[in-house]
Structure 1
């Protein structure tokens, strides 16, 4: 408040000083010209200063200048200022009358009070009327009190100066109006610019607040790599890397040891026009080292040249450590499973090779157990590769229909136990180029899931359709089903639906993730369509990579 009050007082004082200064400045030019004429009169115009009318006019002008300086005009009504120019007309009339014989052109001095009137706040018609009357007073003063009809032509000459002054006044008024209009326009644009400036400041303040709120580090650089903008999170990353300008510092690669080469650092790559995302780098040292996922995009001018770049960094240390822990867990579990499974397979082989052969039906059971144990062993080996999103496949010509039949036989006992009926519909043989072990794994995963998630029984249908370039394999059930969102997430590792968890259905959430990886390793795709309470349909689409000669076709038929 004291500062605002002081500003108001200062503006008030400045306004008062401005009024007094304007009055003095308007009066000085007329005074200087008349004084110069009076001083030079003894040499140039003898007898001029001895005329009482001239002396009286000069005295009035000097007195008016003194009043302009002394009188506190800001304390008087604003219209009182017009007394000075009106009295100036009287003084000019006296000066002109006194010098009429030697200097009749002094009437032109009327232009000074005219200028003053035109710049006043009077209505235009009042200013013009005073201009004409004042100018007429200047030219008609010598004729006051006498009238000679013989001098009528001379009397008409008194109108010349008022007409000239009127024209000058109109011109000045037009110029002042134009200047005022321009001033108003400038003030309007100045207000608009101030509004835009305030809006820009507000937007910058909001943008700064947003940038400093997000947990993503942002850096903008110009074409030379100089930082033009950064946020608080990025400043923390820069301090962590030991480099305050965000240009790299102790940035190392994914191995957390090798320093990142200059041409592989995010800023350099972005300024060369490269766009990338999810590039992992490490900053810092020792226990304080952090993993950053970086993304960058160049900023281009209208002509396509690089004007700068924007780099974003996200701290993903916890995620990287979680993935590492998960991979270590899978690796340990795989090793723990490998030894007992190998032992099981060995004992099953001993049973099959025993000198006392098993009965036929028991031999079939042991054969199925051995084949499934072997698949489990391969599955354990695959856990390591799925941790790195890689599954190796060894395609060869295989009859897919035979694989379907084998998978149905392997899952028949479980289906009967759950009250599920298995149906197949496929042409036979259905030769294609696939890895039989992996595709058997896919079929077993899909069938076991369909049976497991049909707790109330029903029918599970397996269909295989061949087109010109693909083979579509459908596994459909009428079980508990899923929502659309759950169907999109069901291929994620370790994901299980809430309904499956609440129903206490066994599973680790790995089967469909491995299935998807195997299918994609074959160049195919898998998707799910499901609805709660209406079941699910999984569709595997495999490319026809090769064909062999076909045998006569018949239907596999229906299996129970």
Structure 2
């Protein structure tokens, strides 16, 4: 029923313009064209137009064979011919009404040639209707005027068909693009659902924000972190620093830092309060547009509470065990010294045994001291003006005997003097660790060189050997606690893997950095960079005050 109504409505809409014009002419005829409505031919055409409108409404066009409704425009030509013939004297221009059935035919589904034939024939019928009943061969030349309207209508028909085909082509292109957009939208929605499922599955919090800090994307895990960070009051901000109690200022929060262009990783913050407080390892990266301006940021948060607590427990355990070992070892060494200094000398073989016991006790005591040094991430430093070149010279002298035993030649090259603000005891420990390692890991002999130089911003200290060396991956791990390379373990070289971890902690407590470049069988080069004039402003104050 709906389809039938739609088709009938289309037919009526096509027929109404012609009907309205004809009705207006008929209504105004008594005033403007007296006698027009009394013409039987005009009346017949007028009645036929009204009848065709009625048929457009009541005939079930959908139930008739396809193309049946084209009867209406064809009969319109006949009606227009009657109207024109009846009003030739008063309204000869009624023939232009033929444009309405022409429009109908050219917008129909008829083949172009058929529509043009009907257009020509119908238009010619409109102008030639009077000749059907009074043809005079002697007036043949004057009859040529009847071809003007068919020619004009034919031109209009061609123009309409071209425009119709062009519009149809545009419609098809729009439909094609619409289908493509629909498919793309559907695919995008599918991808969004998959992405949402993935983001909600991972245990990492993700947040994407625009340039104004408004959240554009987040996942379920991050929503949990956000609830922790606000508690029961959405206006509160429960962000804290590494000490778990100091509120984190706005300029140090992840989103603010990312929107200012900072890129960082593994920054520890705490969110929440009480027993629900969690440690988050945060990373952020700004998102830039084509112009290079910041258009937003991506922030990633990982819950590392258990890891932080495990590391804290491990450090506490190491510290406690080290303290527990320190007292009895000191006592053992004291009593061994008393035995060695007793007024009654020990037999030679017992003296050797006691000497071995003493050396091993001292070795264990040194190991305990190293464990104490690595129990925390920070060490105590007391910077003061020191000549680094003098420290290097002292280190070379103290390691010369060990170098001779390993057939290693020590070389030092340092600008003299190199005054800077450092902790001499700690930096001496750094030098001793690096030089002793270089000697120890040069079992075949060779040269160990120490070079120091000062630039505008830092003092660079290089310790280089030509020993066994390491792979690139081993060089990245060498500063980790208890790490020893497979080659060192295979060669049975003594060590606990703590010296370089302590060295790194000392250097960083001075606001400096340490790096290693190495190659298997070609040796290693360690570089320590310390700020000029002991710039420890980058070091947290508690790292200078905390006891080991």
Scaled by the length of structure 1, what TM-score is found? 0.75
CA distance in 1, matches of 2:259, 2:472: 42
CA shift for structure 1 position 320: 0.3
Aligned to 2:70: 82
The total of aligned residue pairs comes to 504
Counterpart check, 1:277 vs 2:265: yes
CA RMSD of aligned residues (A): 4.2
Counterpart check, 1:160 vs 2:143: no
Please say if residues 211 and 294 of structure 2, whose CA atoms lie closer than 8 Å, have aligned partners that are also in contact.
yes
Which of 371, 386, 402 pairs up with 1:383? Answer: 371
CA shift for structure 1 position 153: 2.5
Which is worse superposed, 298-307 or 202-211? 298-307
Aligned to 2:51: 63
Aligned to 1:265: 253
Which of 409, 419, 427 pairs up with 1:426? Answer: 409
Structure 1: gaps (5+ residues): 1-12, 410-421, 451-458, 531-535, 546-560
Counterpart check, 1:175 vs 2:167: no
Partner SS, residue 387 of structure 1? coil
Please say if residues 442 and 518 of structure 1, whose CA atoms lie closer than 8 Å, have aligned partners that are also in contact.
no
Partner SS, residue 77 of structure 1? coil
CA shift for structure 1 position 266: 2.3
Scaled by the length of structure 2, what TM-score is found? 0.77
Deviations 1:503-556 (A, max 9, x none): 9999866566557768999976556656xxxxx8864646799xxxxxxxxxxx
CA distance in 2, matches of 1:246, 1:192: 44
Aligned to 1:473: 465
Counterpart check, 1:464 vs 2:448: yes
Please say if residues 270 and 278 of structure 2, whose CA atoms lie closer than 8 Å, have aligned partners that are also in contact.
yes
CA distance in 2, matches of 1:437, 1:228: 51
Aligned to 1:337: 325
Which of 90, 104, 108 pairs up with 2:96? Answer: 108
Please say if residues 525 and 541 of structure 1, whose CA atoms lie closer than 8 Å, have aligned partners that are also in contact.
yes
Which is worse superposed, 213-222 or 299-308? 299-308
Please say if residues 473 and 540 of structure 1, whose CA atoms lie closer than 8 Å, have aligned partners that are also in contact.
yes
CA shift for structure 1 position 206: 2.6
Aligned to 1:208: 196
Please say if residues 345 and 374 of structure 1, whose CA atoms lie closer than 8 Å, have aligned partners that are also in contact.
yes
Q: For residues 156 and 383 of structure 1, do their structure 2 counterparts lie closer, same or farther at Cα, with a shift above 3 Å needed?
A: same
Structure 2: gaps (5+ residues): 419-423, 454-461, 531-548
CA distance in 2, matches of 1:122, 1:381: 101
Any residues of structure 2 matched to 1:270-309 within 5 Å, and which? 270-303=258-291, 305-309=293-297
Please say if residues 218 and 313 of structure 1, whose CA atoms lie closer than 8 Å, have aligned partners that are also in contact.
yes
Deviations 1:274-318 (A, max 9, x none): 333222221222222111112233344555554433322110001
Q: For residues 213 and 505 of structure 1, do their structure 2 counterparts lie closer, same or farther at Cα, with a shift above 3 Å needed?
A: farther
Aligned to 1:6: none
Which is worse superposed, 57-66 or 513-522? 513-522
Partner SS, residue 492 of structure 1? coil
Deviations 1:370-414 (A, max 9, x none): 5664454343223222233456799724576765565489xxxxx
Please say if residues 471 and 519 of structure 2, whose CA atoms lie closer than 8 Å, have aligned partners that are also in contact.
no
CA shift for structure 1 position 117: 0.8
Please say if residues 374 and 498 of structure 2, whose CA atoms lie closer than 8 Å, have aligned partners that are also in contact.
no
CA distance in 2, matches of 1:343, 1:468: 41
